[in-house]
């Protein structure tokens, strides 16, 4: 089974994160995955692209074979497939 990395750019949305993490744990229970929450802590404008790039580099370095770039306020509904594509 391929290892899935869920990359989540994040800043100041704890209420969303508190819902997202448990939801994804249940939704992805059949997958070999890890959620990477990449937090921006400075006062500059939110830089989603930079956070996604950082998360991707970390996940690849840790041996994850495919990535899902995800927003913390978006939850998958029934039928969303995170399987490795053929």
Residues in the chain with pLDDT < 50?
none
Q: Could you give the C-alpha distances from 11 to 34, 50, 57, 75, in angstroms and in order?
A: 19, 13, 19, 17
Start-to-end CA distance of the chain, whole Å, equals 12
Q: What pLDDT does residue 79 have?
A: 86
pTM of the model: 0.92
Distance CA 13, CA 66 (A): 25
């Amino acid at each position: 089974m391929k290892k899935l990395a869920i990359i989540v750019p994040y800043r100041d949305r704890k209420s969303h994160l508190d819902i997202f993490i448990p939801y994804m744990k249940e939704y992805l229970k059949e997958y070999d995955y890890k959620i990477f929450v990449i937090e921006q802590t400075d006062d500059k404008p939110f830089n989603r692209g930079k956070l996604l790039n950082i998360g991707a580099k970390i996940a690849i370095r840790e041996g994850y074979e495919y990535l899902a770039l995800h927003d913390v306020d978006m939850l998958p509904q029934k039928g969303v497939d995170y399987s490795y594509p053929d």
